[in-house]
A = this chain, B = another copy of it.
């Protein structure tokens, strides 16, 4: 079996790391680069990894998708705040059967991709990957992989039902595994996204508003209690959403996750969340993907999520204030 040809749209920490893994596993990978283009086209990529460093002295680097061939899988690894660029970036590399895999954080990303690709007249497969990874880009063409690294892959269905595991999903999973990435294939991508939000919603937002690491948040009884209350709101939102879309199917997350995630977070090494890093670096915050979209889905399903709503408004204001002071 030959592996597929991939395009990595956004060679930051996530795109760079998983793209490098795919290439290491034997796939043909095309990287879209911006400020790192000159360096990477000459020197390739370096991954400093807890799981063992590796380098790819030669990669197919592109400054524009216009120079890429059509690919089998487009991997979207931009920050969601840049998704407005996709209708311009993707068409030239989308063959009629090209799949799209988004590795982005948040909720509703696949819906947006589906709406856009339907508008372009095709009905291609869309996949979502939930990356459980601590990684940063630390220099030109250099990614530091600090912890974790596994990926949950699932297929999106336009009717928002569980899509099961298709041969195409299996094949993509195989390419990641060949690159030494631990992969779990999931039946129900939407429920997996709710599950990931149970952690991201409390800790990403509170880390910015309260200016704290995970360890500091867990050590403060009031922030810890807020984190738990936010988790419970996400859990209830997921339950209402599952009941709305798949009545009577028991499509929800187990209550025990709340205690499990709190204990796990308490035991983690002090961790600066991705949103806190974006904030500290003066980058736009992924507020709509991580807060706005799930909040609206929860409300549409009849779940009251007042604390998520409050965090959403606080983060919108912080993001607006930051973008003003930088402009």
Which A positions have Cβ atoms within 8 angstroms of B? 209-210, 220, 222-223, 225-226, 229, 306-307, 309-314, 316-318, 320-321
Contacts and interface: CB of A to CB of B under 8 A. Distances in A.
B321 A220 contact: yes
A101 to B, nearest CB: 33
A22 B317 CA distance: 44
Given A220-B321, A320-B220, A225 B313 contact: yes
Contacts of A223: 313-314, 317
A306 B312 CA distance: 14
A306 B304 CA distance: 10
A125 to B, nearest CB: 37
B318 A210 contact: yes
A307 B223 CA distance: 14
Contacts of A209: 209, 314
Contacts of A320: 220, 222
B226 A314 contact: yes
Contacts of A313: 222-223, 225-226
A225 B317 CA distance: 11
B317 A222 contact: yes
Contacts of A309: 229, 307
A210 B307 contact: no
A220 B226 CA distance: 24
A148 B169 CA distance: 68
Contacts of A314: 209-210, 222-223, 226
A206 B225 CA distance: 19
Q: Considering the complex of A and B, which 3 residue pairs feature the smallest CB-CB distances, nearest first?
A: A306-B306, A222-B313, A222-B316
Contacts of A222: 312-314, 316-317, 320
A220 B307 contact: no
A310 B307 CA distance: 7
A223 to B, nearest CB: 5
Contact of A307 (B306, B316, B318): B306
A217 B319 CA distance: 14
Given A220-B321, A223-B313, 11 more contacts: A210-B317, A222-B314, A222-B320, A229-B306, A229-B309, A306-B306, A306-B307, A306-B310, A307-B307, A307-B309, A307-B310
A209 to B, nearest CB: 7
Nearest to A321: B220
